[in-house]
Amino acid sequence: MTASTLGRNLEILEKYRKYADMAELRADCLDPDERLLIRRFPEQAGMPVILTIRRDIDGGHFVGGEGARISLMARGLAYAEADRRRNFAYLDIEEDLNVSSLEEAARTFGTRIIRSYHNIKGTDADLPAKIRSMRRSGDEIVKVSVMANSTRDVLELLCAGRECEGQEKILISMGHFGTYSRILSEQFGSFLSYCSALSEPDALPAAPGQIEVRELANLYRFRNITGATKVYGVTGYPLKATDSPHFFNTVFELEGTNAVYVPFPADSITDLMEISKELNVEGLSVTVPYKEAIIPFLDFQSDEVRVIGACNTLTLTPQGWLGTNTDARGFSDSLLTFLNKPNFKRQRVTVIGAGGAARSVVFELHRLGAKALILNRTVHKARRLAAPYKFAWGGLDERGIEKMEKYHDIIIQTTSAGMEGINPNDISADPAATYNFCGREEVMDLVYKPKMTAFLKRASNAGCNVQNGYDMLIRQARYQYIQFTGKEFPEHFLSRVQFGEI
């Protein structure tokens, strides 16, 4: 609770009561006058409350001296009531704060101590020793909240926690890299997880990486996560925004499957694979830039992965990690449905781009009988991709575009040009701007944000049938679901599991 008055905190608490099991009153966020009135907050809150007065050096807002802070803590404990529900249930005391009278008072009145350590800059090297030494008496809960600047930092915290299994503790990797430590607190061995009412305009985010309370409760079904919950996720970098958790978690919920799907942003795929092992992750969606880098970690792989050289799906099997590529089938299913055709026989197709996405497309075009021309800005990549299939190739220049005349039944745009977020200054980018559509081409763009790229708009205006990459995205995710669970995809739920906004 980070509002500036107690009244406002109570209002927010009321609104989100059903999602929370306890509240943390961040008294450092209160107006100075309000801080004098904290004693009655637990009774008013009607649920167990943690009293925390965070210093600025630990990422909080308390800038007064330690004397003032300690008196405020004492004020929170004073006049203890026989009915313990009227007292603060927990008091957060930093590990370097030595005030034994405060600790004694807390213990006497049944207020448990959360012994906390914060590092808002990074993750300390000596964490296992730190965790072991922090607890001063048997009933204290150790809290370590450190900034993760990398995937390695999250791994360090996770491993440090493993060394003190069985102890009540709270382990948090702050920041973007550590967001999943807040969802998988059971797997991290944490006693609780903190979240914020971030959609309230006056509720400050209490710490970097905190998740909005309803998102934690509804999207990730935090309260249902136990040691028996199957863990899946998506990894990539920077992985700032991904719709996959929405898709998979909704299906799991509708199906009543005890499983959760979380984002695993990773700056090192090696470290992420170690984390996956530690957390018993059973399936991973793999996205940019790791579709190739993941291959050495596979224990075995599908033919598609071997030929295409890219893998977007990892499934844990008794024999180890199986790598598959659901982009390929997702693409061909989508395009064939759009064309209402069983295969690409007698179709002459231009593929624009020769990157990872194009490799899956070209593999499927060949498998299903098309004749294709591959055009790429960097010509040698087009030639290299075309060679094993004996397809034509060229640059995205005048000569290349001229070649399209013989390959224009279907045109497939696979580059990231025109994609939102990739070229922030230029979503109007059109990789084949000099090609004139005659109106009879069937045109697909793998991009789905925006719904219509500049390229697709031009095709549509010329009278072509056009399709974006959204349907392909859904189809490849359905294949991932089948890989992960070994079950058929529940088609009747499809209309309820759209990928966020499209």
Residues that bind ligand ATR (CB under 6 A): 353-358, 376-378, 381, 396, 414-417, 429, 431
Least distance between ligand ATR and beta carbon 289 (Å)? 7
The β-bridge relationship of strands 259-265 and 169-174 is unpaired
With 0-12 / 13-18 / 19 or more C-beta atoms within 10 angstroms meaning exposed / middle / buried, residue 424 is exposed
Residue of 104, 83, 81, 79 lying closest to 91 (CA atoms): 104
121 part of the active site: no
What angle do the packed helices 127-134 and 151-162 form, to 10 degrees? 40
Least distance between ligand ATR and beta carbon 415 (Å)? 3
The set of residues, in sequence order, having a beta carbon less than 8 Å from that of 231 and lying 6+ positions away, is: 184, 187, 259, 260, 262, 279, 280, 281, 282
Are the C-beta atoms of 132 and 163 separated by less than 8 Å? yes
Q: Which two tokens stand for residue 215?
A: 């998102």
Least distance between ligand ATR and beta carbon 417 (Å)? 4
Q: Which is nearer to ligand ATR, 183 or 365 (CB)?
A: 365
Q: Which two tokens stand for residue 373?
A: 């021309």
What are the CA-CA distances from residue 375 to residues 210, 396, 401 (Å)?
A: 44, 6, 8
Least distance between ligand ATR and beta carbon 374 (Å)? 9
d(CA 22, CA 296): 44
Report which DSSP code applies to 111.
Answer: P
Q: Which of 143, 291, 371, 449 is catalytic?
A: 291
Q: Which is nearer to ligand ATR, 38 or 361 (CB)?
A: 361
Residue of 446, 248, 280 lying closest to 351 (CA atoms): 446
Alpha-carbon torsion angle 25, 27, 30, 35, nearest 10: 120
Are the C-beta atoms of 245 and 481 separated by less than 8 Å? no
Q: Which residue has the tokens 């299939």?
A: 389
Report which DSSP code applies to 57.
Answer: G
Q: Which two tokens stand for residue 81?
A: 């009531």
Q: Which is nearer to ligand ATR, 265 or 353 (CB)?
A: 353
Question: For residue 123, which phi and psi values (nearest 5 degrees)?
Answer: -110, 125
Least distance between ligand ATR and beta carbon 383 (Å)? 12
Q: Which two tokens stand for residue 461?
A: 């205006």
Q: Which is nearer to ligand ATR, 160 or 396 (CB)?
A: 396
With 0-12 / 13-18 / 19 or more C-beta atoms within 10 angstroms meaning exposed / middle / buried, residue 422 is middle
d(CA 143, CA 118): 8
- The catalytic residues are 291
